[in-house]
């Protein structure tokens, strides 16, 4: 190990290795079934691999345009208009990015300056706050209600100040699986009306909603769409999280600022994959069938925990299931998650990791984006507790 003579003050002194990396490593170390980190253990359709392979062999191996392959941006625009009824210009309002996390960081870096405040909702996905703090902003956390995980708009109104630059919303919500409804969009719109607040909407699980409830994208709402950057993810939609390809779309004036940062923190994204995805997107069933696909996995996993001592909370979207464990243990969440991995052989994520103050409600998050045999094996172990 090299010792450096350089002294410096960390920009993120409180940040260590993410809980997802920690729990996945622990699962691998002890041979546990990994239901912690959010990635599938099954393959995408061969047609997608074949399309990317064909693009490579046809010579599409150099830099694509900075904003993304035109054919891919056109396919994204067509999908968004079909789903949400709003037309975004592929040339000026859509950018392909190196994963959802890069989209989120780029949007934050483009608009948040030192001293600005950004409202986030706890439990909050773990990349938001470090991104805000890296560019000198301050995260202002507003808790979602427990255990419903709904929005307290009166609390949001109190949190808004003259320094508020951005509000970040996430629906379907990771880690809770809750959804924003039309009334939430109306409340949010009323709060930001007449301000210069930019809204950043993390919608990477947009196609994974259950029980016939539609995803309320902010693109559906006229006033919000005019001030919002929206992030979605091919990784989540097409079971290719390791490819790290996503996209961001929003009004041209906001996207112009977004691209100023994008061109210097990543410039462009893997070319053959863009060609392959653009071809693969031409069949809408591949994203329209996702809700039913994951609803079956949700129901299968919940059935595996029948007869266990876990109390399952509602799951309205995403591929995550929250469960209370107070009938099993009184350990704090982080300690329980470690115990569960080592002793029961199933890895989960403590929801306390999504709170700045380490709040402990006795809840862990399981990922059910797995093969049925994986979920069945995990269920057998969890029912023994």
pLDDT tens across 244-280, in order?
Answer: 999 999 999 999 999 999 999 999 999 999 999 999 9
Same domain, 235 and 183: yes
Q: Cβ neighbours of residue 373 under 8 Å, at least 6 residues apart? A: none
318, part of any domain: yes
Are residues 217 and 203 part of one domain? yes
| CATH number for 163 | 3.40.640.10
Average pLDDT of the segment spanning 146-175: 97
CATH of the domain at 330: 3.90.1150.10
Question: For residue 350, how many other CB atoms are within 10 A of its CB?
Answer: 26
- Among 218, 252, 286, the domain-final residue is 286
- Residues 84-104: tens digit of each pLDDT: 999 999 999 999 999 999 999
Shared domain for 34 and 130, answered yes or no, is no
Predicted structure pTM score? 0.97
Tell me the pLDDT band of 114, cut-offs 50, 70 and 90. very high
* 250 and 341 co-located in one domain: no
Q: Rounded mean pLDDT of 66-90?
A: 98
Boundaries of domain holding 311? 19-44+288-383
Task: Tell whether 99 and 214 lie within a shared domain.
Answer: yes
Q: What is the pLDDT averaged over residues 181-200? A: 98
Question: How many structural domains does the chain have?
Answer: 2
Mean model confidence pLDDT for the chain: 97
| Longest CA pairwise span in the chain (Å) | 59
């Amino acid at each position: 190990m090299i010792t450096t003579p350089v002294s410096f003050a960390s920009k993120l002194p409180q940040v260590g290795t993410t809980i997802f990396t920690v729990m996945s490593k622990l699962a691998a170390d002890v041979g546990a079934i990994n239901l912690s980190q959010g990635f599938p253990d099954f393959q995408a359709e061969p047609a997608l691999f074949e399309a990317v392979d064909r693009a490579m062999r046809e010579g599409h191996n150099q830099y694509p345009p900075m904003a993304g392959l035109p054919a891919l941006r056109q396919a994204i625009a067509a999908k968004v208009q079909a789903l949400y009824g709003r037309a975004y210009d592929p040339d000026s309002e859509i950018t392909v990015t190196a994963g959802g996390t890069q989209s989120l960081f780029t949007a934050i870096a483009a608009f948040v300056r030192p001293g600005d405040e950004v409202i986030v909702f706890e439990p909050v996905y773990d990349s938001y706050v470090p991104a805000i703090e890296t560019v000198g902003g301050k995260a202002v956390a507003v808790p979602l209600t427990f255990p419903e995980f709904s929005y307290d708009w009166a609390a949001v109104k109190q949190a808004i100040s003259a320094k508020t630059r951005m509000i970040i919303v996430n629906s379907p919500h990771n880690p809770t699986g809750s959804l924003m409804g039309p009334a939430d969009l109306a409340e949010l719109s009323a709060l930001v009306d007449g301000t210069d607040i930019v809204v950043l909407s993390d919608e990477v699980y947009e196609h994974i909603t259950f029980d016939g409830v539609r995803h309320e994208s902010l693109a559906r709402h006229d006033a919000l769409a005019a001030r919002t950057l929206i992030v979605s993810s091919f990784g989540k939609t097409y079971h290719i999280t390791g490819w790290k390809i996503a996209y961001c779309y929003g009004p041209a004036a906001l996207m112009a600022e977004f691209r100023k940062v994008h061109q210097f923190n990543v410039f462009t994204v893997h070319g053959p994959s863009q060609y392959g995805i653009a071809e693969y997107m031409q069949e809408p069933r591949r994203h329209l069938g996702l809700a039913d696909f994951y609803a079956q996995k949700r129901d299968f996993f919940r059935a595996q925990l029948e007869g266990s001592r876990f109390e399952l909370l509602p799951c309205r979207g995403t591929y995550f299931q929250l469960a209370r464990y107070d009938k099993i243990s009184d350990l704090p969440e982080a300690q329980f998650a470690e115990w569960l991995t080592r002793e029961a052989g199933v890895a989960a994520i403590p929801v306390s990791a999504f709170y700045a103050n380490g709040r402990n409600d006795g809840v862990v998050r399981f990922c059910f984006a797995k093969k049925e045999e994986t979920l069945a094996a995990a269920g057998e172990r969890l029912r023994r507790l």
